[in-house]
C-alpha cells in the first residue's frame, strides 16, 4: 500500500533528454545573437533569413510539444494556428492596421479562441479519433481560407509591408526581424519552462503518464489538457504572425495538413517532452530541407527515406538516436 | 430543380462509393492491426498510375484495370514486408511519422517515374455514352459503371467479412487482437492479407477514377483526408460504418455544393448567399464529422466496444 502511494505521489520518471540544459540554451542564444553580424561579415546574408525561419518554426514546434510531448495529445492540425495567426496579420493589414502591438494580441486571441472551441470538441475523443478530429479542424480552417475570396482565397494575400512596432518601422530589415524572432522565442522558452515546471505542468504530465491515477487522486485531466491546447494554439498563432512578416505574404498553404505533419516530425526529431528539443528539431528539419533541395529537385524523397529510417531504427527521435549511438560506442 | 437534385445525388453516391472502396481497406487496417497508415492514399494513387500505364500499353482500359489490380496488390505486399510490418505494436506517433515519410517517398517516386504533369486516361468506348434516367435526364454511363462496380465490391466485401472463415478472423481481430493471437491464429499472415486486400481496394478505386479525374502526384493526399473523415464518422474498424459514412460524406459534399447557396438565398441576399455557400461547401463534411463525433465520440458504428 505504501509503495502504491509512493508511486502515485512521486514525480514521473524524467525522460532522457540530450538538449535540456538551461545553461546550454543560454550559450546558444548568445551565439545566435551574434549571427547577423557574422553572416554579414562572411557575405552570407541568406543565413539570417534561414535562421529566422528555423526559429519561427521552432516556436511553432515548441508550442506543439506542450500538447504532444507534455500532454500526449497527438494533434494533427497544428498548422491551422500558424495560418490563423498569419491571416490575422494579413487581414488587419488589408484594413490598414499595421502595428504589431495590435496584430499580435489579436492573432494570439483568435487562435486561443479557435483552440478553445475545437479543443473542447476534440478532447471528447481519444487516440486515433483525436488525431483525426484535429486533422479535420485543421482542414476546416484551410478550406475556409481557400474559399475566402475577399482576402485572396487560393492565391494568398500579399502584405503592404512588414508590421510596424508602436508606429515605428523597426523590423524592415532582415537582421531586425531576426532579433525580434529571437526575442520572442527566448521569452516563449522561459515562459513555457515555468509553465511545465508549475503545478499545472505537473498535473499535465501526470495525466500523460497515467490519466486514471490522476483522476483517482482528484484531478480531472480535461481542464488541464484544454488549457494546454489553448496556450499552444496562441503561441503557434504568434509564430504565424512572425511567418507572415518574414514572407510579407499570407497563404492557405501555411495551414495544409502536410505542414502539421512536418511540425510533428520536428517535435519528434528533436525529442518530445523537452523544450529545447522541438526548436532543435525544427532547425534540423529546415537545414535538411535546404541542403537536400540544393542537391536535387526530388529532395522530398531523401527526406522521406530518412524519416522512415529514423522511426524504424530508433525510438525517441534524434535525442534517442544520439543516446543509442552513445551507448554503443 | 428535381433533375439537378437527381444528378447531384448520383454524383454524391458515386463519390461515396469510391470513398468507401478506399476507406474499407483503411478501416480494416486500423481496426484489425491498430495501425495508422497515412500512406493509404498513396496506394490509391499508385493504382491510378498503374492503370493509366497498363491502359496506354495495352490500348484497352479493361485490360489495364485487370493488370493494375494484381500489380497494386504486389506493391502493397512489398510495402508491408519492407516497412509496415516493423510498425505493428509501435506507438501511433511512430506509425504517423513513418507512413508520413512513405507519402513523401511515394509522391516523389511517382514524380520521378511518371513526371509531374497529370496523366489522362480515356473513358473506354464501351462505357462512353450516357444512360437515360427519367424525362430529359441523362447520366454518363461510365459513372453508372463506377457505382455498379463499387456496389458489387461492397457486396463481395460484406460476404467476405460476414460469411467466410477469413472474415470471422478479421472481425475477431478487430474486436480483440491479442485473443485471436492467443487462440493460435497466425496473426502475421492475417495482417499481411488485410494490408494486401486494403492496398488492392484502394488501387481499384484509383484505377476506376483515372478516366474521370486527372492522374497526378497529389491525388492520394486529398482522398486520404476524405477517407479519414469517412472512417472516423463510420467508426474505426467497421466496414458497414465505412459504407454508410462514405455515402453520407459523398452526398453531403455534392448536395452541399449545389444546394447550400440555394438554401442560403432564402435567408440572405443572393451575392452574400453564393459567397457564404462557396465558403461553407468544402467545410461541410468536416462540420458533419465534428458534429457526429460531438454526439458519438466513437463514430456511428464502433467496432470495438472499448473505444
What confidence tens digit (pLDDT) does each residue in A275-306 have?
A: 888 999 999 999 988 888 888 888 888 889 98
How many angstroms away from the CA of B197 is the closest CA of chain A?
A: 22
Give the Cα-Cα-Cα angle B104, A251, A160 (nearest 5 degrees): 145
Per DSSP, B161 falls in state: H
- CB–CB of B24/B202 below 8 Å? no
Rounded average pLDDT over A32-54 = 85
Q: Is A167 exposed, middle or buried (0-12, 13-18, 19+ CB in 10 A)?
A: exposed
Collapse the DSSP code of A220 into the 3-class scheme (helix H, G, I; strand E, B; otherwise coil) and give the result. Answer: coil
Asked if the C-beta of B299 comes within 8 angstroms of chain A's C-beta atoms, the answer is yes
Chain B contacts in chain A segment 257-276 (CB below 8 A): 257-258, 261, 264-265, 268
Least confident of A74-83, A259-268, B120-129, B193-202: B120-129
Instruction: Give the pLDDT score at A317.
Output: 54
- Per-residue pLDDT band for B63 (boundaries 50, 70, 90) equals very high
* pLDDT exceeds 90 at position B245: yes
Asked if the C-beta of A132 comes within 8 angstroms of chain B's C-beta atoms, the answer is yes
- CB–CB of B237/A127 below 8 Å? no
Asked if the C-beta of B97 comes within 8 angstroms of chain A's C-beta atoms, the answer is yes
Instruction: Give the pLDDT score at A78.
Output: 95
A177-227, pLDDT tens digit by residue?
999 999 999 999 999 999 999 999 999 999 888 888 888 888 888 999 999
How many angstroms away from the CA of A296 is the closest CA of chain B?
A: 11
| Residues in a beta bridge with A168 | A165
User: Which residues from A are below 8 Å from B94, CB to CB?
Assistant: 311, 315
pTM, rounded to two decimals = 0.84
Least confident of A42-56, B15-29, B36-50, B277-291: B277-291
User: Which residues from A are below 8 Å from B278, CB to CB?
Assistant: 147, 149
**Residue ranges of E strands in chain A:** 157-158, 249-250
Count other Cβ atoms within 10 Å, centred on residue B135.
9
Decide if B282 and A268 are in contact by the 8 Å CB cutoff.
Answer: no
Secondary structure (DSSP) of A9-72: HSPPPPPP-SS--HHHHHHHHHHHHTHHHHHHHHT-THHHHHHHHHHHHHHHHHHHHHHHTTT-
Rounded average pLDDT over B97-124 = 90
Instruction: Give the pLDDT score at B39.
Output: 93
How many angstroms away from the CA of B60 is the closest CA of chain A?
A: 32
* C-alpha torsion sign, points B9, B11, B14, B15: negative
How many angstroms away from the CA of B88 is the closest CA of chain A?
A: 11
User: Which residues from A are below 8 Å from B96, CB to CB?
Assistant: 74, 76, 131, 261, 264
Asked if the C-beta of A312 comes within 8 angstroms of chain B's C-beta atoms, the answer is yes
Asked if the C-beta of A305 comes within 8 angstroms of chain B's C-beta atoms, the answer is yes
Q: Which residues have CB under 8 Å from A47's CB, separation 6+?
A: A35, A39
Nearest Cα to Cα of residue B246 among B38, B89, B24, B71: B24
Q: Is A63 exposed, middle or buried (0-12, 13-18, 19+ CB in 10 A)?
A: buried
Chain B contacts in chain A segment 201-260 (CB below 8 A): 257-258
Instruction: Give the pLDDT score at A9.
Output: 47
Nearest Cβ partner of A311 from B97, B107, B307?
Answer: B97
Strand pairing category for A249-250 and A157-158:
antiparallel
Q: Between chain A and chain B, how many beta carbons pairs sit less than 8 Å apart?
A: 131
Asked if the C-beta of A128 comes within 8 angstroms of chain B's C-beta atoms, the answer is yes
Q: How far apart are CA B223 and CA A184, in angstroms?
A: 38
How many angstroms away from the CA of B126 is the closest CA of chain A?
A: 38
Q: Rounded to the nearest 10 degrees, how much is the dihedral formed by the CA atoms of A312, A317, A318, A323?
A: -90
Distances (CA, A) of A286 to A27, A279, A290, A316, B248: 21, 11, 6, 19, 40
Nine cell digits for residue B207: 484505377
* pLDDT exceeds 70 at position A63: yes
- Per-residue pLDDT band for A327 (boundaries 50, 70, 90) equals low
The distance from CA B254 to its chain's CA centroid, rounded to whole angstroms, is: 16
Mean pLDDT of chain B: 87
H or E, element range at A132: helix A127-146
Question: Which residue would you say has higher pLDDT here, A157 or B178?
Answer: A157
- Per-residue pLDDT band for A168 (boundaries 50, 70, 90) equals confident
* pLDDT exceeds 50 at position A7: no
Rounded average pLDDT over B6-25 = 92
- Per-residue pLDDT band for A326 (boundaries 50, 70, 90) equals low
Nearest Cβ partner of A74 from B96, B98, B108?
Answer: B96
Collapse the DSSP code of B278 into the 3-class scheme (helix H, G, I; strand E, B; otherwise coil) and give the result. Answer: helix
Decide if B286 and A136 are in contact by the 8 Å CB cutoff.
Answer: yes
Q: Which residues have CB under 8 Å from A37's CB, separation 6+?
A: none
- Per-residue pLDDT band for A60 (boundaries 50, 70, 90) equals very high
- Burial code of B99-126, b = ≥16 C-beta within 10 A, e = fewer? bbbbbbbbbbbbbeebeeeebebebbee
- Per-residue pLDDT band for B171 (boundaries 50, 70, 90) equals confident
Q: Is B163 exposed, middle or buried (0-12, 13-18, 19+ CB in 10 A)?
A: exposed
Rounded average pLDDT over A89-98 = 90
- Per-residue pLDDT band for A315 (boundaries 50, 70, 90) equals low
Nine cell digits for residue B198: 486494403
How many angstroms away from the CA of A103 is the closest CA of chain B?
A: 24
Instruction: Give the pLDDT score at A5.
Output: 46
* pLDDT exceeds 70 at position A237: yes
Q: How far apart are CA B2 and CA B134, in angstroms?
A: 11
Nearest Cβ partner of B279 from A144, A301, A304?
Answer: A144
Region of residue A152 (phi > 0: left; psi between -120 and 50: alpha; otherwise: beta)? left
Question: Which residue would you say has higher pLDDT here, B266 or A203?
Answer: A203
Instruction: Give the pLDDT score at A1.
Output: 42
Q: How many residues make up chain A in this entry?
A: 329
Decide if A137 and B290 are in contact by the 8 Å CB cutoff.
Answer: yes
Q: How far apart are CA B188 and CA B230, in angstroms?
A: 27
Decide if A131 and B96 are in contact by the 8 Å CB cutoff.
Answer: yes
* pLDDT exceeds 70 at position A320: no
* pLDDT exceeds 60 at position B305: no
* pLDDT exceeds 90 at position B306: no
Nearest Cβ partner of B283 from A140, A265, A311?
Answer: A140
Decide if A129 and B109 are in contact by the 8 Å CB cutoff.
Answer: no
- Per-residue pLDDT band for A232 (boundaries 50, 70, 90) equals very high
Chain B contacts in chain A segment 41-100 (CB below 8 A): 68, 74, 76
Q: Map grid coordinates 474559399 to a residue.
A: A147
Query: Could you report the predicted ipTM of this complex, rounded to two decimals?
Result: 0.83
User: Which residues from B are below 8 Å from A149, CB to CB?
Assistant: 275, 278
Rounded average pLDDT over B43-61 = 93
* pLDDT exceeds 60 at position B16: yes
Instruction: Give the pLDDT score at A272.
Output: 85
Nearest Cβ partner of B294 from A124, A126, A301?
Answer: A124
Asked if the C-beta of A293 comes within 8 angstroms of chain B's C-beta atoms, the answer is no
B214-240, pLDDT tens digit by residue?
898 888 888 888 898 899 899 888 888
* C-alpha torsion sign, points A207, A211, A216, A221: positive
Question: Which residue would you say has higher pLDDT here, A138 or B185?
Answer: A138
Rounded average pLDDT over A14-28 = 60
Rounded average pLDDT over B57-66 = 91
Region of residue A264 (phi > 0: left; psi between -120 and 50: alpha; otherwise: beta)? alpha
Give the Cα-Cα-Cα angle B188, B29, B177 (nearest 5 degrees): 55
A103-142, pLDDT tens digit by residue?
999 999 999 999 999 999 889 888 878 888 898 889 889 9
Helix axes B92-114, A127-146, angle to 10 degrees: 50
Instruction: Give the pLDDT score at A88.
Output: 94
Nearest Cβ partner of A301 from B94, B104, B236?
Answer: B104
Amino acid at each position: 500500500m505504501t509503495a502504491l502511494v509512493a508511486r502515485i505521489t512521486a514525480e514521473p520518471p524524467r525522460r532522457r533528454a540530450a538538449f535540456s540544459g538551461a545553461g546550454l540554451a543560454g550559450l546558444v542564444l548568445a551565439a545566435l545573437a551574434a549571427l547577423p553580424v557574422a553572416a554579414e561579415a562572411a557575405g552570407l546574408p541568406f543565413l539570417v533569413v534561414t535562421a529566422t525561419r528555423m526559429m519561427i518554426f521552432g516556436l511553432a514546434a515548441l508550442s506543439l510539444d506542450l500538447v504532444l510531448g507534455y500532454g500526449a495529445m497527438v494533434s494533427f492540425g497544428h498548422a491551422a494556428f500558424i495560418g490563423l495567426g498569419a491571416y490575422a496579420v494579413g487581414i488587419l493589414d488589408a484594413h490598414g492596421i499595421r502595428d504589431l502591438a495590435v496584430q499580435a494580441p489579436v492573432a494570439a486571441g483568435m487562435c486561443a479562441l479557435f483552440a478553445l472551441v475545437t479543443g473542447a470538441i476534440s478532447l471528447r475523443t481519444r487516440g486515433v479519433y483525436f488525431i483525426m478530429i484535429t486533422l479535420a479542424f485543421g482542414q476546416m480552417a484551410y478550406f475556409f481560407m481557400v474559399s475566402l475570396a475577399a482576402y485572396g482565397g487560393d492565391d494568398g494575400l500579399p502584405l503592404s509591408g512588414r508590421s510596424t512596432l508602436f508606429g515605428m518601422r523597426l523590423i524592415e530589415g532582415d537582421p531586425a526581424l531576426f532579433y525580434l524572432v529571437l526575442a520572442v522565442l527566448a521569452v516563449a522558452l522561459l515562459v513555457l519552462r515555468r509553465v511545465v515546471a508549475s503545478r499545472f505542468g505537473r498535473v499535465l504530465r501526470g495525466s500523460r503518464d497515467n490519466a486514471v491515477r490522476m483522476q483517482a487522486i482528484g484531478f480531472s485531466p480535461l481542464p488541464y489538457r484544454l488549457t494546454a491546447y489553448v496556450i499552444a494554439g496562441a503561441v503557434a498563432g504568434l509564430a504565424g504572425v512572425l511567418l507572415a512578416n518574414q514572407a510579407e505574404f499570407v497563404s492557405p498553404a501555411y495551414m495544409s495538413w502536410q505542414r502539421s505533419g512536418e511540425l510533428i516530425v520536428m517535435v519528434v526529431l528533436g525529442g518530445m517532452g523537452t523544450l529545447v528539443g522541438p526548436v532543435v528539431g525544427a532547425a534540423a528539419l529546415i537545414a535538411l530541407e535546404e541542403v537536400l533541395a540544393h542537391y536535387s529537385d526530388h529532395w522530398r524523397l531523401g527526406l522521406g527515406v530518412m524519416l522512415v529510417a529514423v522511426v524504424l531504427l530508433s525510438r525517441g527521435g534524434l535525442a534517442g538516436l544520439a543516446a543509442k549511438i552513445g551507448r554503443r560506442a | 430543380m428535381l433533375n439537378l437534385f437527381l444528378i447531384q445525388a448520383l454524383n454524391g453516391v458515386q463519390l461515396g462509393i469510391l470513398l468507401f472502396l478506399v476507406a474499407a481497406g483503411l478501416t480494416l487496417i486500423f481496426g484489425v492491426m491498430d495501425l495508422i497508415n497515412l500512406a493509404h492514399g498513396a496506394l490509391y494513387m499508385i493504382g491510378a498510375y498503374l492503370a493509366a500505364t497498363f491502359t496506354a500499353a495495352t490500348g484497352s482500359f479493361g485490360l489495364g484495370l485487370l493488370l493494375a489490380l494484381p500489380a497494386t496488390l504486389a506493391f502493397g505486399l512489398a510495402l508491408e514486408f519492407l516497412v509496415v510490418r516493423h510498425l505493428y505494436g509501435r506507438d501511433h506517433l511512430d506509425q504517423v511519422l513513418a507512413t508520413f515519410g512513405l507519402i513523401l517517398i511515394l509522391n516523389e517516386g511517382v514524380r520521378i517515374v511518371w513526371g509531374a504533369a497529370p496523366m489522362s486516361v480515356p473513358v473506354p468506348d464501351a462505357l462512353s455514352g450516357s444512360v437515360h434516367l427519367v424525362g430529359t435526364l441523362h447520366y454518363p454511363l461510365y459513372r453508372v459503371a463506377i457505382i455498379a462496380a463499387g456496389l458489387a465490391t461492397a457486396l463481395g466485401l460484406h460476404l467476405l467479412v460476414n460469411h467466410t472463415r477469413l472474415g470471422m478472423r478479421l472481425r475477431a481481430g478487430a474486436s480483440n487482437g491479442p485473443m485471436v493471437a492467443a487462440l493460435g491464429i497466425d496473426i502475421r499472415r492475417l495482417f499481411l492479407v488485410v494490408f494486401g486486400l486494403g492496398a488492392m481496394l484502394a488501387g481499384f478505386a484509383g484505377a476506376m477514377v483515372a478516366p474521370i479525374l486527372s492522374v497526378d502526384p497529389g491525388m492520394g493526399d486529398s482522398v486520404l483526408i476524405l477517407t479519414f473523415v469517412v472512417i472516423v464518422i463510420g467508426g474505426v474498424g467497421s466496414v458497414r460504418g465505412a459504407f454508410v459514412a462514405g455515402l453520407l460524406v459523398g452526398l453531403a459534399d455534392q448536395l452541399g455544393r449545389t444546394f447550400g447557396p440555394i438554401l442560403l438565398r432564402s435567408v440572405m441576399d443572393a451575392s452574400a448567399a453564393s459567397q457564404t455557400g462557396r465558403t461553407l461547401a468544402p467545410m461541410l463534411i468536416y462540420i458533419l464529422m465534428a458534429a457526429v463525433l460531438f454526439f458519438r465520440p466513437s463514430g456511428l458504428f464502433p467496432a470495438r466496444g472499448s473505444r
